[in-house]
Amino acid sequence: MEAAATLRTWLDEADRVLVAAGAGLSAAAGYDYGDTDRFKELFPALHRLGLRSRYLLGVPLPADMMWGYWAVHIDDIRFGSDPNPLYRELRSLVGDRDHWVMTSNVDALFARNGFEADRVFTPQGDYGRLQCTVPCTQEAWDSRPFLDRILAAYDRDTGRVTDPAALPVCPNCGAEVFPHVRVGPEFVGGAYMPAGDRLARWLGDAPGEARLLVLEFGAGFNTPGVIRWPMEKLVRHTPGARLVRVNPVHPDVPADLGARALSVPFGADRLLNALTV
């Protein structure tokens, strides 16, 4: 594969690597929110209601069913302990190069697969926390204890949480809580800004002759302002920087980047497999 050969060369020539990832990377790694078979397996009750995928934001469900869904979904996506081969391959590809990660994904798969957690910027949040929906505080809480209580009272056949006391509420004000992900203006993002500040300093402190390689995986047009457009802008304004855009659906790169941008119209799994051959 010609793209793999070019990527190898660009990696060899890079002093620094920024891995930028959208939902397409986790989908290629087996965490596809649109997987209807996996949805039916995990959520039989919701499947009987006619629902077919995990894209349930805005779907009107009673609280006991919605929290049953969230608990199973987050437990599956965020807290699995098995190593993920695709993310491990990506970590091996980056190797000992000076690097950072910026991702719109909220599944912590980078930190769970060998990347240093303090060098991963997740501006969209993390399923590992819950926040108040008001919000009455800038604090967020570890979601694991809340999820454990929900799962202990969860009836898979009905999709409902059978104990109302297991439904989570804000420990401060008693209002509803929600997974700590960016869905609206109530999102409390302060916990993630220190990592964003460190990433900005890392980019700004680079020696003038340092060559930056941006490896972008699976960032399409659902939220292009989070990963896709900022990466284009970064490369455009960083002398000598290069962009590798890996995306089977939207691989186009800006014409003004010329030979400094590589379009790879495949999934991350296909590209990384080619690099290991």
pTM for this entry: 0.94
What separation in angstroms does the CA of 72 have from each of 3, 59, 80, 168? Answer: 38, 17, 11, 14
Domain boundaries, the chain: 1-30+84-124+188-277
**pLDDT value at 276 more than 80:** no
pLDDT tens digit sequence for 83-125: 999 999 999 999 999 999 999 999 999 999 999 999 999 999 9
- pLDDT score recorded for residue 7: 95
Are the C-beta atoms of 275 and 244 separated by less than 8 Å?
no
- pLDDT score recorded for residue 252: 97
pLDDT tens digit sequence for 205-245: 988 788 999 999 999 999 999 999 999 999 999 999 999 99
Q: What is the mean pLDDT of the chain?
A: 95
| CA dist., res. 129 & res. 178, Å (int) | 9
Q: Would the CA dihedral through 140, 33, 18, 230 be positive or negative?
A: negative
pLDDT tens digit sequence for 161-212: 999 999 999 999 999 999 999 988 999 988 899 999 999 999 999 887 889 9
CATH H superfamily, domain 1-30+84-124+188-277: TPP-binding domain (3.40.50.1220)
Report the Cα 72 to chain-centroid distance in Å.
18
